[in-house]
Structure 1
Amino acid sequence: MSGRMVRIAGLFLLSGMLTACAAGDEPRLLNLRAPGPGPDEFAVVPAKPLQAPRDYAALPPPLPGAANLADPTPDADAAAALGGSRAAVTGGGVRDPGLVAYAGRFGVAPGIRSQLAAEDLQFRRENDGLLLERVFNVNTYFKAYRPQSLDQYAELERFRRAGLRTPAAPPEGLER
């Protein structure tokens, strides 16, 4: 074998080794598509229990496309849990002025979404990984955002030391 053939074989071997290293188990949060043709467990919302009316004769006539009392209403349930009104949730959004005022009680910066998007794009450009990480499509998401992430177990202990009731958390290492 010539020296050139040995170098080419070495490059193929090196690329195979690097590719094998990148085949780690990625968390599902970065994979937003279902892994197969099976059902999506987050698309299943249980129906509310059926209710019998007190007087069947007093029922209004059925309207095509109208909501059923047994249909799930997760948006209205979330608004009620946050202190808003269930009736204020219409057409895919919360329209409760009290809830909106409470959420913006410390002020609202105009254009905050576009400002955050521009800042995040700049941050990602500055932390896009090394050349080989980009060439071999290695995920650098967690490495880039590590300084901004919250240590959930340290916060859990801090809350418990302060005497606050906290929910149970999985043991460290089993959070995925």
Structure 2
Amino acid sequence: MTAARLVLAIAGASLLVLAGCGGWRDKPPHLMNLRSSTNGPDEFSIVPPKPLEMPEDLAALPEPTPGGENLTDPRPKDDAVLALGGTPRTASESVPAADGALLSHAARNGIAADIRPTLAAEDVDHRRKNNGRLLERLFGTNVYFRAYRKQALDQQLELERWRAAGAGTPSAPPRQLGER
């Protein structure tokens, strides 16, 4: 009776291992899911409008156009450009002259038009090479952080390195009492 149970246990374990190995090379490794899989609202796509303000001169307001932009419409890309010290551009103009030096420095090694698909393919290849252990593949667990562990930056060591070099770190928490 015990020999039959042992044979059944080995056969069951073998089936689980074979089932876990089937087809995993065909699918790209999955990243963390940042998209909602439900039919409800996506909380990351909701951007509150800007507050209403009374302009100093009502005659300076643009003519309203159906389907056009409103002054209180959220413009997160423009807000990010402003936060980084740039000048947001309108749809009809090219890069502002004040941002020309920044653009030429960013493009000094060339600009690849297909950068997103290239990076996605390189990422899939890297994660396939670091695809996790057998049970992680079998149960489909996320191995993203372990795959990129060697490329991770230690925030605290980097903060101390910049502070030791004399750089200002206004967005970092202040040192605790007793720290160097």
Name the TM tier (shorter chain).
0.5 to 0.7
**Partner of residue 172, structure 1:** none
Q: How many residues in Structure 1 have an aligned counterpart in Structure 2?
A: 151
* Bigger Cα displacement from structure 2, 140-149 vs 77-86: 77-86
Distance 1:44 1:146 in 2: 32
**Partner of residue 135, structure 1:** 138
**Partner of residue 64, structure 2:** 62
**Partner of residue 91, structure 2:** 90
Unmatched runs of 5 consecutive residues or more in structure 2: 17-30, 174-180
Is 1:79–1:85's contact at 8 Å kept on the other side of the alignment? yes
Q: Does 1:164 align with 2:171?
A: no
CA drift of 1:151 comes to: 0.7
Distance 1:150 1:58 in 2: 49
Distance 1:7 1:161, change over 3 A: farther
- Deviations 1:80-138, CA, capped at 9 Å, x for gaps: 2333322x1439xx942543651441613353725544433332222112333212213
Q: Secondary structure at the match of 2:153?
A: coil
Unmatched runs of 5 consecutive residues or more in structure 1: 16-28, 170-176
Distance 1:109 1:59 in 2: 41
Distance 1:45 1:81 in 2: 17
- The TM-score normalised by the length of structure 2 is 0.62
CA drift of 1:140 comes to: 1.7
The structure, 1 or 2, with the larger RCO (C-alpha pairs under 8 Å, 6+ apart) is: 2
Identity %: 47
Is 1:84–1:96's contact at 8 Å kept on the other side of the alignment? no
RMSD (Å) for aligned C-alpha atoms: 3.5
* Poorly superposed stretches of 4+, deviation over 6 Å: 35-38
Task: List aligned pairs for 1:1-176, cutoff 5 A.
Answer: 1-6=1-6, 8=8, 30-34=32-36, 40-54=42-56, 61-86=63-88, 88-90=89-91, 95-98=94-97, 99=99, 101-105=101-105, 107-111=108-112, 113=115, 115-166=118-169, 167-169=171-173
- The TM-score normalised by the length of structure 1 is 0.63
- Deviations 1:32-63, CA, capped at 9 Å, x for gaps: 13487776543343322222345657755421
* Bigger Cα displacement from structure 2, 94-103 vs 119-128: 94-103
Q: Secondary structure at the match of 2:148?
A: helix
